[in-house]
Structure 1
Amino acid sequence: MPHVPVPVSPRDPLLTSPEVGDAVAAGRPVVALESTLLAHGLPAPQNRAAAEDLETAVRAHGAVPATVAVLDGVARVGLTAGELDRVCAGGLAKLSVRDLGAAVGLRRDGATTVAATAALAHAAGVQVFATGGLGGVHRGARESWDVSADLAALATTPVLVVCSGVKSILDVPATLEVLETESVPVVGYRTDAFPGFYRRDSGHPVPWRVDTPAEAAAVWQAHRALGGRPGAVLAQPVPADAELDAVLHDRLLDEGLALISSRGVTGKDVTPVLLEHFHSGSDGASLRTNLALVLANAALAAQVAAALGA
């Protein structure tokens, strides 16, 4: 029997919550937050507590939080408490930009990566986005061509991404080289070193530094006013008291790289496997580091968004 397509009724594929929509329309500060961190990066029940803490951190600094996800085939910018519960309950697909059309068209649920969150935030009129760490060029990319779509999204999407650099599991110098090639500004916040996620210093410098949210906002405004097409990276190191011990970090990294090699793990499955190894191998210390840095980034993003509004 031939397959008969199910008719799809017309509907808006992008839904902005009333609070976020009103704030954008009025020019009030808004900060986008990704959902892959909640659905795939943190275990339950810490992920649901983190969702609440992130939104609280944004509000504490005068901005409106806009957590982004695809639910029931609709891309949503700004979630209710019930929708956050669904994101944190598990079972959501991991969606990058290329997956958004399929998820919406097929009416699926999905958590958005940095790339997808940036794209949907921009579509909703949100300029500032807070996350933990960027994706980047994977080790061995000369053979695998494994480069995160986050970099391509930043090259074409004018959103300011506040993060703690990239994870040390990646090829950091190659990632910075791609950002330079794509003319994506990389600015350190109160640091001259590009952060390495769990570690405050990846061993590579940043080309520019700012020391206040107002300076960060001024850089972003000038970048946009001068016709800057790409987004920008504002890189803030993990708080010093939450940094992962160097010896422990290096041991877990070596073990994790050996683990994915022995299992033949590739592509988008690499990061979740390595993060789980860091979590289990550090007795939860890496999770505490992850939570500390993403909360600090949410607070900083809100301060920068408020400075942009001012």
Structure 2
Amino acid sequence: MTNTLHTSLSLSSEVADAVATRTPVVALESTLLSHGLPPGRNLDVARRLENTVRETGAVPATIAVLDGVARVGLTDAELERVCAPDADLDKLSLRDLGPAVALRTSGATTVAGTAALAHAAGISVFATGGLGGVHHPLPGSDLTWDVSADLGTLARTGVLVVCSGMKSILDIAATLEVLETNSVPVLGYRTDDFPAFYLRSSGLSVPRRVDDPAQAAAVFAAHRAFSDSGVLLANPVPAEHELDRALHDRLLAEGLELVRERGVSGSDVTPVLLEHFHTASGGASLDANEALVVANARLASNVAVELAR
């Protein structure tokens, strides 16, 4: 059973009841499941994320577009469909939602797509793995036009996004500058260093630090009184799952060379690099990915509980 706000946005009964009664809700993206993790493991992680949110006192709302309907809160059968090896789902950023709905296609939502749909559904807290950002220029160029839509969406959408920074394949310094330009507060959770996904520190500092979920909730609530933009809460990968830095740097160099050799560009760069990390690290990067996204779901749930008080 679902509660339909309009023909293109459908909340599960559980999520609709939680939003109506101001029960804590945490949005979860689906691109990680359909494009970021291998079949089998993706479904295990999907269920683990939802269970983590429930154990922490909130309601999970995994988001995807299925047959032209943006679904906020998936049934187990719908989770299985998103994670199926032959799902062949499109990757839906904010710009892709309208076409997917109008043409009745199906897709997994990115950070931008998930944040927009969560906000439309009345959900303020969203847990993910890593944020998109500014890519480094291609060889032979001194500037890039490749800037993730995640940044612009966060600048206009009042959600708190819990992530482990962004992947080190991106220009993290430039990404932080774009967030600052768009008045998006960046908080470090129990850290003074901005994380780099597989690594606990990018070598760059965070503008502000918070040390418990109540502080993060207070910052978000205060910010929303002055601005329509969201807030980024950066939570480093658990120390025991951080990739060895020497291994990370070697894999990154190999992956970038692979991208150059194949002539890969645009949105295809990240999947190629991630696949190289997963295979060449012997699964260590997959373990890190799972550990950090589960930790982010737990933290997001704790913040959502504080916001609901």
> Displacement, 1:262?
1.5
> Displacement, 1:203?
0.6
Counterpart in 1 of 2:247?
A: 248
Using the alignment, how far apart are the partners of 1:119 and 1:255 within structure 2?
A: 35
The SS at the match of 1:62 is coil
> Displacement, 1:271?
1.1
Matched, 1:69 2:64: yes
Counterpart in 2 of 1:6?
A: none
Q: Which amino acid aligns with 2:11?
A: T
The SS at the match of 2:60 is strand
Using the alignment, how far apart are the partners of 1:258 and 1:30 within structure 2?
A: 42
Counterpart in 2 of 1:123?
A: 120
Residue by residue, what CA displacement relative to the aligned partner does 1:164-216 show, whole Å, maximum 9, x if unpaired? 00000100100000000000000000000000000000010001000000000
Using the alignment, how far apart are the partners of 1:18 and 1:138 within structure 2?
A: 40
Using the alignment, how far apart are the partners of 2:37 and 2:109 within structure 1?
A: 14
4+ long deviations beyond 3 Å: 141-144
Q: Which amino acid aligns with 2:233?
A: L
Counterpart in 2 of 1:258?
A: 257
Counterpart in 2 of 1:305?
A: 304
Q: Which amino acid aligns with 1:50?
A: V
Give the TM-score normalised by structure 1: 0.95
The SS at the match of 1:137 is coil
Counterpart in 2 of 1:214?
A: 214
Counterpart in 1 of 2:167?
A: 167
Q: Which amino acid aligns with 2:13?
A: P
> Displacement, 1:270?
1.1
Query: % of aligned pairs identical?
Result: 68
Residue by residue, what CA displacement relative to the aligned partner does 1:65-124 show, whole Å, maximum 9, x if unpaired? 000000011001000000000100131000000000111111111000000000000000
Using the alignment, how far apart are the partners of 1:65 and 1:237 within structure 2?
A: 22
Q: Which amino acid aligns with 1:67?
A: T
Q: Which amino acid aligns with 2:209?
A: R
| Residues 116-155 of structure 1: pairs in structure 2 closer than 5 A | 116-140=113-137, 142-155=142-155
Q: How many residues align?
A: 299
The SS at the match of 2:209 is strand
Counterpart in 1 of 2:292?
A: 293
> Displacement, 1:299?
0.3
> Displacement, 1:54?
0.2
Matched, 1:85 2:84: no
What is the RMSD of the two structures over their aligned residues, measured on CA atoms? Answer: 0.9
Using the alignment, how far apart are the partners of 2:178 and 2:261 within structure 1?
A: 28
Using the alignment, how far apart are the partners of 1:262 and 1:144 within structure 2?
A: 19
Counterpart in 2 of 1:113?
A: 110
Using the alignment, how far apart are the partners of 1:85 and 1:285 within structure 2?
A: 25
Residue by residue, what CA displacement relative to the aligned partner does 1:225-280 show, whole Å, maximum 9, x if unpaired? 2x211111000000000000011000000111111112111111111111100000
| Structure 2 unpaired stretches of 5+ | 1-5
> Displacement, 1:40?
0.1
Counterpart in 2 of 1:95?
A: 92
Using the alignment, how far apart are the partners of 1:232 and 1:262 within structure 2?
A: 38
Matched, 1:56 2:51: yes
Using the alignment, how far apart are the partners of 2:193 and 2:260 within structure 1?
A: 30
Matched, 1:191 2:191: yes
Give the TM-score normalised by structure 2: 0.96
Counterpart in 2 of 1:269?
A: 268
Using the alignment, how far apart are the partners of 1:199 and 1:25 within structure 2?
A: 39
Q: Which amino acid aligns with 2:33?
A: L
Using the alignment, how far apart are the partners of 1:198 and 1:189 within structure 2?
A: 16
The SS at the match of 2:187 is strand
Using the alignment, how far apart are the partners of 2:306 and 2:266 within structure 1?
A: 38
Residue by residue, what CA displacement relative to the aligned partner does 1:106-156 show, whole Å, maximum 9, x if unpaired? 111100000000000000000000000000000117544001000010010
Q: 2:29 aligns with which of 34, 41, 46?
A: 34
Using the alignment, how far apart are the partners of 1:301 and 1:55 within structure 2?
A: 12
| Structure 1 unpaired stretches of 5+ | 1-10
Using the alignment, how far apart are the partners of 1:179 and 1:144 within structure 2?
A: 17
Counterpart in 1 of 2:3?
A: none
